[in-house]
Amino acid sequence: MLDDFWLEVIDEPYENGVIGKHLVFHLEERPIVKVVDFVGAKEVEAAKIENALKSQSVNGGAGGFVRDDHALIRAGQKAILDLDAKEGFPSATVEIRKVPIPGELRLARLTFVIKEGPRNKKESWR
């Protein structure tokens, strides 16, 4: 998958004076998500989060490509928010951080920063 692509046209004269065109194709690969972290979840366990992502066919990006449209990442974010709401945290928020891994070429760490907020206390039914 490509992150960026552009074409460079360079005019260069030949020995006979005719102007030639050199085309240079620049391709930049998207970073590969190597590590996926879940930070900040205190009440909802990371194992439950991972299972929620798997059950909805979302792996959170591990081993995949970081996409410009963030479709996979947004699906992971939604799965976490849905799980938190189900666990009693309807006002939870999930911030996404993508950071290059130092010393690694084109590898990234994807971190879901989860703030659960106050637990919604369910009323007992009589």
Q: What is the pLDDT of residue 13?
A: 93
pLDDT at 123 over 80: no
Whether 20 is covered by a domain: the verdict is: no
Query: Does 15 reside within a domain?
Result: no
Would 80 be classed as within a structural domain?
Answer: yes
50-108 pLDDT, tens digit per residue, is 877 776 655 544 555 555 446 777 888 888 899 888 888 999 999 988 888 898 778 88
Calculate the alpha carbon distances from 95 to 18, 20, 126 in Å: 56, 50, 39
Question: pLDDT value at position 33?
Answer: 80
Mean pLDDT of the chain: 80
pLDDT at residue 125 above 60? no
Please state the pTM of the whole predicted model: 0.66
Does 82 fall in a domain? yes
| 3-state secondary structure (DSSP) of residue 71 | helix
How many Å apart are CA 66 and CA 105, to the nearest integer? 14
Q: What pLDDT score was predicted for residue 114?
A: 92
Residue 40 forms part of a structural domain: yes
**pLDDT for res 57:** 57
Q: Is residue 44 part of a domain?
A: yes
* Domain carrying residue 70: 31-115
CATH of residue 54's domain is 3.10.20.310
**Total structural domains within the chain:** 1
To the nearest whole percent, how much of the chain has pLDDT over 70? Answer: 83
In a domain, residue 124? The reply is: no
pLDDT of residue 6: 95
Q: Where are the alpha helices (DSSP H) in the chain?
A: 46-55, 71-86
